[in-house]
Amino acid sequence: MSARRDGRRKQGFFARQSLLTRYILIVVSGFLFIPIIIPLASLVYMTTSAIGGGDDVRFTMKYGNAGEVEMDWHAEARSLRGGRPDEVNARLRALADEYPEASLFWVDAEGQTRLRLPEDAEGEGGVPDHWSADDAVRFMKTSVGGDPFTVVAFLGENNGEAAFMALQLPRKLVEAGPSSGSGTTFFVAFVCVSFVLFTALSLLFFLRIRKRLLLLQAAMSKRGEHGLPAPVEVKRADEIGGLEGAFNGMVEQLKAGRERQQEEEELRKKLISNLSHDLRTPLTVMRGHLYTLGKEPLSGAGKESLATLERKADGLGELIDNLLAYTLMTSGRYRLEPEPADVWRLARESAAAWYPVWEKAGIEADIRLPADPLVWKVDKLAFRRILDNLFQNIVRHAAGGRYAGLYAERRDGRLMLVIEDRGPGLSGSSEGKGAGIGLAIVEYLLREMGLAWERESSEIGTRILIYQSGSSETWGDSR
Amino acid sequence: MNTELLYIEDDREIGTFVVQHLRSSGYEVKWLRSGEQAVEQAEGCKLVILDVMLPGLDGFTVGQRLKKAMPGLPILMLSARTAIDDKLQGLQFADDYVTKPFHPDELTARIEVLLRRSGNHAPEALQVKHLLVHERENRIVNGETGEEILLSGKQFHIFNYLLRHLGQIMTKEQIYESVWGEPYLEGDKTLMVHIRYLREKIEKDPAAPAIIETVRGIGYRVRA
User: Distance, in angstroms, between A449 CA and closest chain B CA?
Assistant: 17
Q: What are φ and ψ of residue A104, in 5° steps?
A: -125, 150
- Indicate which of B14, B23, B82 best probes the interface with A, i.e. most A CBs within 10 Å of its own CB: B82
Coil, strand or helix: which one is B2? coil
Is residue A151, in this structure, part of any structural domain at all?
yes
Question: How many other CB atoms are there within 10 angstroms of residue A411's CB atom?
Answer: 11
pLDDT score at A410: 93
Task: Looking at the structure, tell me whether residues A347 and A288 fall in a common domain.
Answer: no
Residue from the list B83, B168, B173 with its beta carbon closest to the beta carbon of A345: B173
Predicted pLDDT of residue A365: 93
Residues A280 and A352 in one domain: no
- Does A233 fall in a domain? no
Question: Of B53, B83, B217, which is closest to A321 when you measure between CB atoms?
Answer: B83
pLDDT at position A467 is 94
Among B13, B88, B169, the residue with its CB nearest the CB of A355 is B169
Looking at the fold, whether A171 and A186 belong to one and the same domain comes out as: no
Query: What is the CATH number for A431?
Result: 3.30.565.10
Residue A415 inside a domain? The answer is yes
Among A46, A47, A48, A49, smallest CA distance to A59 is for A49
**Domain end call among A326, A361, A376:** A326
- Identify the pLDDT of residue A451: 94
Residue A460 and residue A424: Cα distance in Å, rounded? 6
A360 and B CB contact within 8 Å: no
Residue A228 lies in a domain: no
Domain containing A303: what range?
239-326
Q: CATH 3.40.50.2300 region(s) of chain B?
A: 4-118
Please state, in angstroms and as integers, the Cα–Cα distance from residue B122 to each residue in A195, A352, B48, B49, B114, following that order.
Answer: 99, 27, 16, 18, 12
pLDDT reported for residue A468: 92
Q: Which residues contact B159 (CB under 8 A, 6 or more apart)?
A: B140, B151, B198, B202, B212, B222
> DSSP letter at B125?
P
In chain B, CATH 1.10.10.10 sits at: 126-222
Backbone φ and ψ of A93, nearest 5°: -60, -40
**A440 and A382 share one domain:** yes
pLDDT of residue A474: 46
Confidence of residue B168 (pLDDT cuts 50, 70, 90): confident
Chain A residues with beta carbon closer than 8 angstroms to that of B53: 277
The answer to whether the Cβ–Cβ distance between A351 and B218 falls below 8 Å is yes
End of a domain among A188, A221, A254?
A221
In this predicted structure, what is the pLDDT of residue A295? 87
Based on the domain organization, do A441 and A400 belong to the same domain? Answer: yes
Q: Is the pTM of this model over 0.90?
A: no
- The pLDDT assigned to A363 comes to 93
The tens digit of pLDDT for each residue in B53-104 reads: 788 888 888 888 898 999 889 999 887 665 555 555 656 778 888 888 888 8
Residues A322, A348 share a domain: no
Indicate whether A230 belongs to any domain: no
ipTM over the 0.85 cut-off: no
Domain B4-118, classified CATH 3.40.50.2300, yes or no: yes
Question: What are the CA-CA distances from residue A316 to residues A60, A280, B101 (Å)?
Answer: 117, 9, 9
Spell out, as residue ranges, where chain A has pLDDT lower than 70: 1-12, 15, 49-61, 83, 120-126, 176-183, 225-226, 333, 426-435, 471-479
Nearest by Cα to A151 from A141, A138, A165: A165
User: Residue A253 CA to chain centroid, in angstroms?
Assistant: 25
A113 and A141 in a single domain? The answer is: yes
Query: What pLDDT score does A472 carry?
Result: 42
CB-CB under 8 Å, A352 with B169: yes
**What is the predicted pLDDT for the residue at A477?**
42
Give the domain-ending residue among A326, A352, A377.
A326
Residue of higher predicted confidence among A328 and B177:
B177
Q: Into how many domains does chain A fold? A: 4
In this structure, is residue A231 part of a structural domain? Answer: no
The second-level CATH assignment, the architecture, of B126-222 is Orthogonal Bundle (1.10)
Residue A185, in any domain of the structure: yes
Q: Which residue of A has its CA nearest to B54?
A: A277
- Residues of chain B positioned with their CB less than 8 A from the CB of A276: 80-82
Task: Please give the pLDDT value at position B195.
Answer: 93
CB contact under 8 A, A325 and B83: yes
Same domain, A77 and A166: yes
Instruction: Provide, rounded to the nearest whole percent, the portion of chain B with pLDDT above 70.
Output: 91
Closest-CA residue of B relative to A355 is B169
Residue of A nearest to B171 (CA): A349
Q: Are residues A71 and A147 in the same domain?
A: yes
Q: What are phi and psi of A478, to 5 degrees?
A: -155, 170
Which of A289, A321, A345 is the closest to B82 by Cβ?
Answer: A321
